[in-house]
Structure 1
Amino acid sequence: MLQATNVPGMHTYGPPLPQPNRFFQRGFGWVLGAVWLFYLGQPLNTILARPGGFAKWFSLGALALFALSYVLVFLWTRRMHLERRDPPLKAALGWLAATLLLGLAMIPGAGGDWMVGLVYIAASAIMVLPPRAAVPVVAAIAAQPLVLPMFIPSWQHENGLFFSIVLAAIAMFGVTRMIDHNMRLTDANREIARLAVAEERARAARDLHDILGHSLTVITIKAELAGRLLPVAPERAEAEVNDLEKLARQALADIRRTAFAYREVSLEEELASARSALSAAGIEAKLPRAVAEVPEPRGTLFSWAIREGVTNVVRHSGATRCVITVRPDQVEIADNGRGPAASGAGGSGLRGLRERAEACGAQLSVGRAEGSGFVLRVSVPA
């Protein structure tokens, strides 16, 4: 589907992309914080019931600023969580102190009903303070509806308000923990996705190395052989050049299949390819003419082992003879060449083969063959 764009000369294919909802991006936090302000209806009604005067309007302004302060604390804490940061302790204590002062400023008009604001202060303490600091602060706040009426007879004991403060603190604690867990879950999902991408890249790198390494090695050897045969045996050189064309086409097809993640190998094909590569390199090949059916994923693992082993024999061994043995539980590639390197460290091909073997629960062994030469063995437990 062709979609118009605002950029001259550019066309976009595909359905229109959904646009982000600005309400959920910006307004949702305000709504979520402000929805709990209806509890301030009790001190608001008390203030509005007073006759006009300084106390009434001063307390009404303090109430409005108190409500705004709570919403701002909520939004600030929400932003801190989204940014994976803890609220600074000094700023948190300063904000709580300012909110408390605004609550006390409601006393001239609201009287004892100002203590409803303690519910919001306790919830704010849970939001902005670490748990160890928030618990004693909430305990002190919750005690005020029980303690203050003892000293101010005109204020009624508020047992219900005590439980409201405790429940609000517990509820806000649950909300903050849920936010933290959701953020951790998001981080974990991102890490899983990153690891999946890394694993897929490693798989593609192994496949490309094994395919290109083997194919290019055989192509190089056959090209050298065709060059040597051209002056003395043009007909054989022509046959080798034809083989080169087939190998190049096959390598291109393998790369395309690998790019689309359905590259498959089989023991029979790898044995035939190994025979051709060893023959072109002038190495005597002793290979099984046929093999019993090997179950997957073992058969694929053995095929990659043969491909990697033969590539190393042709490239590095200097051998004149190579023996490949295939059993239902094991494959072995041995030569009579110069043997393993002194360091004993394998290249990227052996590392990739080791990763394949570990994924199948198999064991990769490399080292010196009996007498001389190099042996590569992959064994699968019965």
Structure 2
Amino acid sequence: MTSSVDIMAPTNQPRWLGPWFASIWLLYLLDPLIYAIQQHKWIGAGATVAFGIWYVGVWIWARQLLHRRITPLRATWPQALVSLGVLIGFGVLMVALIGPKGLAASVYIAVLAIMLLPPRFGIAVAVLDLVAVLSMAFRHGWDSAAGGVGLGVIAASIAVFGIRTVITRNFQLIEAHQENADLAVENERTRFARDLHDILGHSLTVITVKAELAQRLFDVDPVRAREELADLERLSRDALADVRRAVRGYRELTLPNELARARQALNAAGIEPVLPQSTDAVPTELRELFAWTVREGITNVLRHSHATQCEIVLSDRNVEVRDNGRGCDCDTVGSGLTGLRERARANAATVTTRNLTPGFVVEVAVR
């Protein structure tokens, strides 16, 4: 007694189609209405009209819930019971005032019960409705009407239950797609935050170190101070370019550039760099990961180590950034290592941090 065409249609269809599809099925109420008018049973005719109006109104309301992405299953119990109770009341009046012709209301009651109530309760109401209709077959003159309406109740209940199942599956699919989209957005937000931390964390640390150095050199060595200020300007421009590349999604780093930056940053901080002369031993697929490792490792050395020497060791399977500083708590070295672990995991590698005597080491090794 409802239309799957309208329920499953896109939301940009004309709004008048909903009431139209709902009203089509009221044709089955014409027979009891005409009979009531012919028999001058005006109260029965009024009950039939009220029954039809209420049915269409509830159906349109359920359709509005659907278009607001609230499935009919989520109608509250008071809403469902009031809607169904009023319809049953009008249906009982029809049967009492019109007779066998009024049994047509039973089909609509079964349909509404299945649409508004949770499945097991809706089916239970439809079964009780069918039992009530079939029990009328034992009354004289009611057998043919009860038999036909009973078949109608069964057919309509099965059809509407199928429609409801399709609607439910579609909403579950929509919710799953939305959840996947939300997760994708959250993952991208996390990735971007991690990249921004890795890029700016390193750059700003180097800028801070150089600014402190330039301030100390103002009175002692003005020429060197101006050189450091020039480096600050260049580094700030490089950081801005890195951020722009991250925004555009270009995340690749080059290992030679990171080693050159490491040398410059360590020298500016007064830390002796011990760096490899070549990166030829590192496979192409590991160069970006090792570049991120160098960047994060050097950032930690500049921030936390108070070291006098820092060494970077490269091989075809691992990279180490070690210093001779005071070491640190491996569990609280910052969110940068969390991002590095994620990158390593994506490349089937592991990140190891440990304290030395003296010093600290960050190692990324391919399993």
Common fold: TM-score over 0.5: yes
2:25 aligned residue: 36
Question: Residues 146 and 157 of structure 1 are in contact (CA less than 8 Å); yes or no, is this contact kept in structure 2?
Answer: no
Match of 2:283 among 276, 281, 294: 294
- The share of aligned pairs that are identical, in percent, is 43
Q: 1-side partners of 2:358 and 2:273: how far apart?
A: 17
Q: 2-side partners of 1:76 and 1:67: how far apart?
A: 14
Partner AA of 1:161 in structure 2: V
Partner AA of 1:380 in structure 2: V
Q: 2-side partners of 1:243 and 1:101: how far apart?
A: 86
| Cα deviation 1:8-27 (Å, max 9, x = unaligned) | xxxxxxxxxxxx96944xx4
Indicate yes or no: 2:343 matched with 1:356.
yes
Indicate yes or no: 2:189 matched with 1:201.
yes
Match of 1:176 among 151, 158, 164: 164
Partner SS for 1:106: helix
How far has the Cα of 1:110 moved from its partner? 4.8
How far has the Cα of 1:83 moved from its partner? 4.0
Partner SS for 1:363: strand
Q: 2-side partners of 1:97 and 1:260: how far apart?
A: 59
Stretch deviating more after TM superposition (323-332 or 230-239)? 230-239
How far has the Cα of 1:379 moved from its partner? 1.9
2:101 aligned residue: 113
How far has the Cα of 1:231 moved from its partner? 4.2
Question: Residues 101 and 145 of structure 2 are in contact (CA less than 8 Å); yes or no, is this contact kept in structure 1?
Answer: no
Q: 2-side partners of 1:38 and 1:154: how far apart?
A: 21
Q: 1-side partners of 2:25 and 2:307: how far apart?
A: 82
Match of 2:306 among 318, 329, 332: 318
How far has the Cα of 1:353 moved from its partner? 1.8
TM-score by length of 2: 0.85
2:50 aligned residue: 65
Q: 1-side partners of 2:328 and 2:166: how far apart?
A: 57
1:366 aligned residue: 353
Partner AA of 1:71 in structure 2: V
| Cα deviation 1:208-229 (Å, max 9, x = unaligned) | 2111121122222223333444
Match of 1:344 among 325, 331, 335: 331
Partner SS for 2:332: coil
How far has the Cα of 1:257 moved from its partner? 1.6
Indicate the RMSD between aligned Cα atoms, in angstroms. 2.7
Number of equivalenced pairs: 353
How far has the Cα of 1:264 moved from its partner? 2.5
Indicate yes or no: 2:228 matched with 1:240.
yes
How far has the Cα of 1:77 moved from its partner? 3.6
Match of 1:270 among 251, 258, 272: 258
Cα distance 1:90–1:238, how it changes in 2: closer, same or farther (>3 A)? closer
Partner AA of 2:365 in structure 1: S
1:4 aligned residue: none
1:35-114 matches, cutoff 5 A? 35-47=24-36, 50=38, 53=40, 55=41, 57-79=42-64, 82-83=69-70, 86-107=74-95, 110-114=98-102
Cα distance 1:117–1:253, how it changes in 2: closer, same or farther (>3 A)? same
1:375 aligned residue: 361
2:4 aligned residue: none
TM-score by length of 1: 0.82
Q: 1-side partners of 2:343 and 2:213: how far apart?
A: 33
Higher helix share: 2
1:7 aligned residue: none
Stretch deviating more after TM superposition (348-357 or 78-87)? 78-87
Cα distance 1:322–1:106, how it changes in 2: closer, same or farther (>3 A)? same
Question: Residues 136 and 146 of structure 2 are in contact (CA less than 8 Å); yes or no, is this contact kept in structure 1?
Answer: no
Specify every segment of 5 or more residues in structure 1 that has no aligned partner in the other structure, as ranges. Answer: 1-19
Question: Residues 265 and 303 of structure 1 are in contact (CA less than 8 Å); yes or no, is this contact kept in structure 2?
Answer: yes
Cα distance 1:154–1:123, how it changes in 2: closer, same or farther (>3 A)? closer
2:129 aligned residue: 141
Specify every segment of 5 or more residues in structure 2 that has no aligned partner in the other structure, as ranges. Answer: 1-10
How far has the Cα of 1:191 moved from its partner? 2.6
2:319 aligned residue: 331
How far has the Cα of 1:28 moved from its partner? 4.7
